Amino acid sequence: MAAPKPQQCFELGTTLEYLSGIASVSAVSGSSTAPYPQLDANDPAKRYRVATVVETIGKLLTQLEAMGLKKSLEAAKELAPMNEEMQTYLKQAPDPQGAILLDHFADQLIAKSKAVTAAVKAELPG
């Protein structure tokens, strides 16, 4: 395996950081952030929509494959069935763009993404 480029490592790190920080429906604020537009993007109801999480998991799998991180890709394969479940849900949801994660599902995604992070750390040089 050729050493990954710094840009690849940075992009992979941001993807993993996003997934490990997943928030769920219980973290949705009842307060309006409208007066604080700089906070609006971090509102869990907007930041962790199911559609965004699905897209991010797909991106993670693509990044790991492109970087040739076979052990990390193997660890990430546990995310694939969950991703498929979310995609199926989105196809049936009345408001796919507004769908957010439920607590138990978010907790499982966080645990699996942390396992992938550990695999990446073990596999990358230095």
Q: pLDDT at position 76, please?
A: 96
Query: Which pLDDT belongs to residue 35?
Result: 76
Give the pLDDT score at 38.
72
Residue pLDDT, tens place only, 19-68: 988 866 565 556 666 777 776 666 666 678 899 999 999 999 999 999 99
Encode pLDDT of 76-111 as tens digits: 999 999 999 999 999 999 999 888 888 888 889 999
Average pLDDT over residues 70-81: 95
| pTM, full prediction | 0.82
pLDDT at residue 118 tops 90:
yes
* Predicted confidence (pLDDT) at residue 16 exceeds the cutoff of 90: yes
The Cα-based distances of 65 to 47, 89, 94, 101, 125 in angstroms read 25, 26, 33, 26, 16
C-alpha to C-alpha distance for 6 and 124, rounded to whole angstroms:
11
What pLDDT, on a 0 to 100 scale, did the predictor assign at position 40?
Answer: 65
Q: What is the structure's pLDDT at 57?
A: 96
Q: What angle do CA 108, 8, 5 make, to 5 degrees?
A: 140
User: What is the model's pLDDT at position 84?
Assistant: 96
Closest CA to 28 of 100, 93, 90, 96: 100
Which pLDDT belongs to residue 100?
85
